[in-house]
Amino acid sequence: MNQSLINEITNGLQSSKPFISPKYFYDELGSRLFEAITLLDEYYPTRVEKSIMKMYEQQIASAVGTCDVLLDLGAGNCAKASELFDSVKPKQYLALDISRDFLELAIIELKKKFPHIQMAAQVCDLSQPLSFPELAGKKKTFFYPGSSIGNFNPDQVSSFFKNIATICDGSGGLLIGVDLVKDSDVLQKAYDDSLGVTAAFNLNVLNHLNKIIGSNFDVMDWEHFAIFNQEDSRIEMHLRAKHDVSVTWQAQSKHFKAGEMIHTENSYKYTKASFCDLLIKAGFKTVQTWTDSKEFFMVCYAKA
């Protein structure tokens, strides 16, 4: 067992406001449950982002131009980035993701379809600073779709954008999708769907922790809770104890009273202006934006 992971998770669970990092959602089952979420009617971001990418394909292609390296942040099954290959014409494709599960298989399949592109997969935690010294001097396009940026807090977003702008070093840029502020009912349903897929995704993090730290969480003791926090402009996901629960792991134990919660995820929702402002303040020179007709979601290209 990796002691630093155990310490990190222990700090979260033993905190006065217990939390689990959302990066622990993505074990094999978690990745599949997330894929299932993206197919739900209520979970509009994936569908709407896809429609924006399709509707403005030409404009986006001419804004982004071609590049030497396409860096796919949070690549998953690599399907979204592969749609860009024809327009961006990368010589090299680097797929990064926290979970190895889909990544390597997806790359093997993609290599068959695009043998002229040099491809590599790298497991990577995007909450840590990125560095690609081996790519210095190459024109880089970073691709970060799906509003995964919403799972960072605003301070982390600023550092993340500065990190990318610095790596770009005056050429290339960042093509990114972000979910926008909207009616709280629509948001609420997207994170508390009628089939309970999001509930299963949220609860599964406890099974994943049991494997990582040897804890004895029982998902039957917990329930999914999602709420839109207007003030902080974010959906919060929590796990709420259905009754008093005691959990033990390693040499640790924690008692949760009935109703006590573990915070598992924030999903920030931005306005068009606030998001562009963050990109410009981080050092990008210009930002072009595309949205759907209801302004539910936005795709941006920030030029370095």
Residues within the interface to ligand AVI (CB under 6 A): 37, 45, 146-148, 150-151, 191, 198, 265, 267
Amino acid symbol at 182? K
Query: At closest approach, how far in Å is the CB of 32 from ligand AVI?
Result: 13
Tokens of 6: 């155990």
Q: Which is nearer to ligand AVI, 222 or 249 (CB)?
A: 222
Amino acid symbol at 81? A
Query: At closest approach, how far in Å is the CB of 191 from ligand AVI?
Result: 5
Give the closest residue to 43 by CA, choosing from 34, 30, 52.
34
Q: Which is nearer to ligand AVI, 187 or 282 (CB)?
A: 187
Q: Which is nearer to ligand AVI, 82 or 267 (CB)?
A: 267
Q: Which is nearer to ligand AVI, 147 or 289 (CB)?
A: 147
The closest residue (CB) to ligand AVI is: 267
Q: Which is nearer to ligand AVI, 191 or 275 (CB)?
A: 191
CB of 75 within 8 A of CB of 96?
yes
Q: Which is nearer to ligand AVI, 139 or 204 (CB)?
A: 204
Q: What is the 3-state secondary structure (H, E, C) of the chain?
A: CCHHHHHHHHHHHHCCCCECCHHHHCCHHHHHHHHHHCCCCCCHHHHHHHHHHHHCHHHHHHHHCCCCEEEEECCCCCHHHHCCHHHHCCCEEEEEECCHHHHHHHHHHHHHHCCCCEEEEEECCCCCCCCCHHHCCCCEEEEECCCHHHHCCHHHHHHHHHHHHHHHCCCCEEEEEEEECCCHHHHHHHCCCCCCHHHHHHHHHHHHHHHHHCCCCCHHHEEEEEEEECCCCEEEEEEEECCCEEEEECCEEEEECCCCEEEEEEEECECHHHHHHHHHHCCCCEEEEEECCCCCEEEEEEEC
Q: Which is nearer to ligand AVI, 35 or 83 (CB)?
A: 35
Integer CA distances (angstroms), 208 to 26, 64, 104, 198, 219, in order: 8, 38, 21, 15, 11
In DSSP terms, which residues pair with 173 in a beta bridge? 141, 303
Query: At closest approach, how far in Å is the CB of 92 from ligand AVI?
Result: 25
Q: Which is nearer to ligand AVI, 249 or 275 (CB)?
A: 275
